[in-house]
Amino acid sequence: MRPTFGTFDEAWAERLVGSRPRRGIDGFLGIVVTEVQPGRLVAEMDVTKDVITVMGTMHGGCLSAMCDHVLGVVMYPVMQPGYWAATTEFKINLLAPVTTGVCRATSEIVAMSKRMAVVRIEIENEGRLVALAQGTCTIVAPKAGPASRAE
């Protein structure tokens, strides 16, 4: 009961894997994609001292931002070229404090139509589930213009 995907841009998927963002919030967090399949993506981030608060645990905003990130990124390989995925909403449950190790997020498209997709994310750390999320991406078609005039 999972969607099938008419498009899978393997070149895009290959470019995603292993590339290390140098800037932006994903750069600050050091989020690196480690696996991409049609409708499924895995990414990791190290829990460095930069993200630990005075309480001694990782700031929850890091898991929220990681969810937001992988929720959109999983969409690109299965959309037609030029399309854009805008996260319009998501909900996250934070299950346990994180203090060390690696956070590993698995993002899976569980439903997809022409205009939107629903994505679920699980993040694990040190052998435990630490966050669960569910959200919606709106799929935005390329703007009409010289590049898309032939459509």
Shortest CB 28 distance to its own copies, Å: 5
Q: Write down the least CB distance from residue 107 to its own copies, Å.
A: 13
Task: Summarize as ranges the residues that interact with its own copies (CB under 8 A).
Answer: 1, 23-26, 28-29, 50-53, 55, 59-62, 64-69, 72, 84, 86-95, 97, 110-111, 116, 118, 120, 122, 124, 127-129, 132-134, 136
Q: Burial, 149: exposed, middle or buried (Cβ in 10 Å; 0-12, 13-18, 19+)?
A: exposed
- By C-beta, is 13 or 31 nearer to its own copies? 31
- Tell the burial category of 134 from Cβ atoms under 10 Å away from its Cβ (0-12, 13-18, 19+): middle
- Which is closer to its own copies, CB of 29 or CB of 33? 29
Tell me, what amino acid is at 49?
Answer: K
The DSSP letter of residue 141 is: P
Give the separation between CA 53 and CA 49, rounded to whole angstroms: 8
Least Å from the CB of residue 47 to its own copies: 12
